[in-house]
Copies of this chain bind each other. A is one copy, B any other.
Amino acid sequence: MVTIKDIAREADVSPSTVSRVLSNKKDFFNPATAAKVRKIAKKLGYRKNTLAANLVKKKNNIIVVVISSVETNFSDQIIKGIQSEAQGIGYDIMYMYTHTTNEEEHKHILETLISRQISGILFVSVILEKENITLLDAAKIPYIFVSIKPDNEHMVIGSDDQEIGYLATKYLINLGHKIIGLAGVDAYPYAGFSRIKGYQRALDEFGIEANEKYIFYGDYSYNSGSQAIKYYHENFSSLTGIVAASDSCATGILNYAYDHKIKIPEEYSIITIDGTNLCNITRPRLTSVTQNFRKMGSLGVRKLIKLMEGKVNTKNKSIFVPVKIDVRSSTARLTR
């Protein structure tokens, strides 16, 4: 393995000079020497040992994105956002997969990141446990949460979930729907809970009485969706609108409907939350409250870098990326 010393010997300069040239410390070397050094480096097939450099600099120019399993069909968009921001920022971006919640696994990951002097961490759809947060804070590695947050102390770059629930519900109300289900959300803080609040706020605003029985709890999954519409269909003939907790959930609804010859949007108007590509692939296409996942990713990287440079403090308030409604074909004005 070729080292800086080998080059120094061959170029008849000191290792320090080689180091300066190779790490491009401008104004600290003479162009002629530089040229010579670079030529020899190339000739010898020199590869810098970044490990050694990092050891002395006490930092590793890597940002690690810790991301929860690929289940969620929006993580690809967040990744795209991150990647789009990755050019020329002076850091390499690497990813590690984990489960959304799994204290031991998270701990292991954090320990390897800490011991490798990672520069910064982006948690995407990962809920970090209290102990692990303590661990991370002690190590003084800057980090940011994207999409979901572990508690109310930390900021997150995500969507305003209450707003999402509110907008979705209001959209259906404005189409004339009065009995509206909310399908597949969970009751835990923070996403599910907030969406429920938004849903209730919208009903309230239009003088419609919210009724707990129209909320079908679940886990945002395809199956939650199928089960929800089954529940609605078998129990409430007057229910005509459904807010689906996620695109997968909405797809479950759509397919149950298809399989049971229930017409969408004639019998039920469905509005989904997320607005991933799935919405264009289903038939009918799904009307959605669309989150800007790409933006979350790019913003996450930008904020993290600011944090690493000490230009911003963690205690900052959460950043909400605007959502929008994309009208497609799964919703219709109520005619009955």
* Chain A residues within CB distance 8 Å of chain B: 1, 45, 47-52, 54-55, 58, 60, 64, 69-71, 75-76, 79-80, 83, 92-97, 111-112, 114-117, 138-139, 222, 251, 255, 258-259, 281, 283
Contact = CB atoms under 8 A, between A and B. Distances in A.
Nearest to A52: B55
A69 B78 CA distance: 12
Contacts of A47: 111, 114-115, 139
B95 A51 contact: no
17 contacts: A1-B58, A45-B138, A50-B112, A50-B117, A51-B115, A51-B117, A69-B83, A70-B70, A70-B75, A70-B76, A70-B79, A79-B97, A92-B112, A94-B95, A94-B96, A95-B96, A255-B281
A48 to B, nearest CB: 5
**Most chain B beta carbons < 10 A, residue from A48, A51, A69, A258:** A51
A128 to B, nearest CB: 18
Contacts of A222: 281
A24 to B, nearest CB: 15
A92 B132 CA distance: 19
